[in-house]
Chains A and B, each alone.
Chain A
Amino acid sequence: MKTRKTEYRFLMPAIVVVAIMTQFPFLLTVIFSTLRWNLSRPDLPRTFNGFDNYLYFLKIESLQHIPEFYSILWQTVLITGVTLLLCSVVGFILALLLDHEIPGVNIARTLMLGPFFVMSTASGVIWKTTIFNTTFGWYGVIAKALGATPVDLVSYHPIGVIIVLFTWQWMPFFILVLLAGLQGIPQDLVDSMRIDGVSWLQGVFKIKLPLIMNHMRVAIMLGLVFLIKEFGLILVTTAGGPGTRSYTLPYAVYMQVFSANNVGRASALAVMTVVLTLILVNLLYRSIVKRNARYS
């Protein structure tokens, strides 16, 4: 009995703090999402309005008038999805490259890991001012030197810009995880591959890739969890623009609270963000579990 008490003494503080700071506020958010509550209108009563806040975003009255929410949802999924795809494909190729015995390969690996630890607001402003700027950035200067007219990428291809930056930041992590997987492949398997005369391409896709598929999935899942909540990078590069072309769900929530002051609608949007995250993670998680089951 006494030892059990100690265990709870170890466990409870963490649970209490985490619950107070995360679960409890989330429950409140769910409650807020059923209220009509605009901070800038204290003269209007704060009333319960059921699912009205959700319907405001979700209700499709006619096919010509599809609410903004769906495009924001699509943009969120698009940005996250393409980033993860790029990270896995290019990350895999780069991991294969870095899996070679080259003098000082660790230096190259370390350099490539760097962007993963850069705070997103800093990488956002740095890329925006020193690279993407049409007059003062490398992109502008190089484009002009090649005789092309640089376009304002941040305004004309906001989603592309965000995907490039997300990928730049997250690919290092993919490389790291995939490289760990590649290096975990037993050397005698690689040797026997060579003796059996398996071509390089076959070796990569038929043997190496399946062996590190689990690493890939875990990296994708983690990337998903972190990318879907990213906010700072969008704020400093495109600020959701032009228009709402690069809004993602977290950014839309932010705008609902701090620009529209509409607590009710913002909460509804936040709840839907959580639901989306859970759905996507669940899908991925299941595919991992299923695969593990098949292999063991």
Chain B
Amino acid sequence: MRTQLWLSLCLLASSSGVVRAAELQLQPADVALTGPGATQRMLAVAVEGKQVVGDRTGQAKFTSSNPAVANVTESGVVQAVGDGVATITAAHEGQQASAKVKVTKTQEPAAESFRNQIIPILTRNGCNSGACHGALAGKGGLKLSLRGYDPEADHFALTRQAGARRIDRQEPAKSLLLRKATLTMDHGGGLKIEANSRDFQVLADWIAHGAPGLRADEPRIQRLEVFPAAATLKPTDGLQIVVRAWYSDGRSTDVTRWAKFSSSEELVAKVDEHGQVKVAGHGEAAIVVWYSDLVAASQITSPFAGSDRLEQQLAQSPRHNYIDELVLAKLRALRIPPSGVSNDEEFIRRAFLDAAGILPTPDEVEKFLADSAADKRARLIDALLQRPEFVDYWTYKWSDMLLVSTRRLPQPAAWSFYQFVRQSVASNKPWDRFARDILTASGSNLQNGAANYFVLHKDVTDLTETTAVTFLGMSITCARCHNHPLEKWTQDQYWGMASLFARVAIKNGDRSGEVTVQAQPSGDIPHPRRGEAMPPTPLDAKPLAASSVQDRRAYFADWLTAPENPYFAKALVNRVWRNFMGRALVEAEDDLRQTNPPSNPALFDALAKDFTTHQYDVKHLIRAIMNSAAYQRSSKPLPENAADDRFYSRYLIRRLSAEVILDAYSQVTKVPTPFNQVLQGTAGGFNNYAGYPLGTRALQLPDAQVVSQFLDSFGRPDRSVACSCERQQDSSVGQALHINNGKTLNDKLRAKGSRLDDWLTEKIDDEEAVRRIFLLALCRKPTPAEQDRVIKLMQEAAAAQAPRREVLEDLVWSVLSGKEFLFNR
């Protein structure tokens, strides 16, 4: 009886979100303090199951079993006193937790390490930031490497330059370095380090010990450990993050005070410069920690309020494939209920627009609605994937990505490139094959369109960076000049990868616009700082032997398309997922990096694995996504999931792209858009061009240089730089003015031979006109209320002697300018 009561109380508590009794734990559980005065900050956390659910450090009482070995302060900082072993205990609300501390080398003199201590102090205090001495030109005569990526040069600058006045080994406190930083002397950067602070002391001691530089034998940092690794908290909760660095000699050090912190989602959790987290809202945030050239993260989850129906809502939500299990698991963790299933009208419009960029015809809609088979959605998806418009749409998409355009390519070359992409899409060429064909393309660019990739990117750095964005979904550009401040990539790795692209030769061919691309056996691109070429090395991989005469591009392609490559499949998965789900797992879609974590890592891994094991079959991936219940959810928010915009609890509505809107205008009005001018490559202005017959749709254009005010206004990409940011999906007043007053839509409504002409000939009545335009544009019937409102306005217009054609034009305009039309939902 008693047990039962206890159980039911527990259930009650958990289902209403009340915190259960949690156990107290000390982190880190094992501490090794090395050297005199070494310290480690401890965290007393409440743990439920395996999850950290609260920070009790502030309230807990700390004691040391052996103060002659280690002290512990009220706030939980353990300090080495003498060699030996001690146990640190924290007590809070009747619970106790303990951790072991081993103290060594307290009798050995401290030897400050320039690399492991001095540089981190300079970084932590912002001395070598881009705004200060880390700027390319330095500041006030002192130039340090950005965030300390070049310690050797920094040591030289600090100890030798400026007549070696920056340090004074006899009287460290008189060193320029310290006088400036403490503002006892004029300093443009202001006060950076308090006199007699701990940082000050370390710097002074280092100078007093002769300001030694790098030592070949000194331990190197290997990894960072963050405490807690993850926590589930609620708004207004606080949490201290503790960071421990591990070195090659097995030593570990508390580096919390020199680490830099940032939050991936400030609206969910903020973090201050000391690593103190404050939960601000619901959702997930990664607290990113940077120290030395390493980054690590602590995952903060702040579940939504949900409701007591949550479990039921989750249980009832359909599961069509593995995607749904993983999406729903995330939703459960965050207490977000999924919306219901989209209706058939919503689904067919959505599926056509997302997969092929077209609207279904009224016939197609009606046939689909009448179909009562259980698998009709799956069959519709299969049929869509076979349509020629599917090929148009995805060819356009990959042409955006690959910058197919007459902007920098002569027209025959651009067309040849386009044909290569188009044939690859039409044959559903596996993505690894597609990438390899491009990256190892040789021969005439007019015969092998893929070779134009090397014509567009003749410069080795451009080629290296574009390849990273295009096929790895990541930018490594920063690392060209300095170690990447947001990523793990170093300048050495950048130039190692660049070496893989240093041996491409381009020669003029026989025909106009023709060049031939060939791998060549020699040629090097020097590392700008080292002055010599780095061995040709893919990111984090083994270098190709310098003596090898193999096409280095093939070596890169082998690495890129190997199933073990951690980036290649994900880069594509993220792009395709975003196309259908409205938000990429990692935003932006080509900004994959360690410091920008995915919203659902398990799902991301599973999609990439599925894609890889199915031989990089893009259609298979599309099918999996479109058939998932997650994709087929309604866009209508529930009260409890309205705030979610990234965990896929509902279909995220989005504005249609420029090309899709323009084509839909043509489809609905039956008036094609003329494309008869093309921007000139160099001379300025544009040329008349008759190569696109009337009826060519915007999504069929092989070139982004075709003149169209509408497409530009609605954010068509330039295709000049590989970046998903080129396409702009936001709305502007210019767009609204253009739809209201501009020529694109108004001219189609007034054109001869339009659908309106047919309706006038047929003399259809108001009700029929409303029914038809709704079906054509919105793929649904009007509701009785909508129909009444609209017909009433039409009748008022007729009563006021408005010409019939004008009334119909206004009706069609009102639907084609509305949100429901301009958005996919």
Answer yes or no: are A and B bound together in one complex. Answer: no
Where the two chains meet, the residues of B that have a C-beta atom closer than 8 Å to any C-beta of A are none
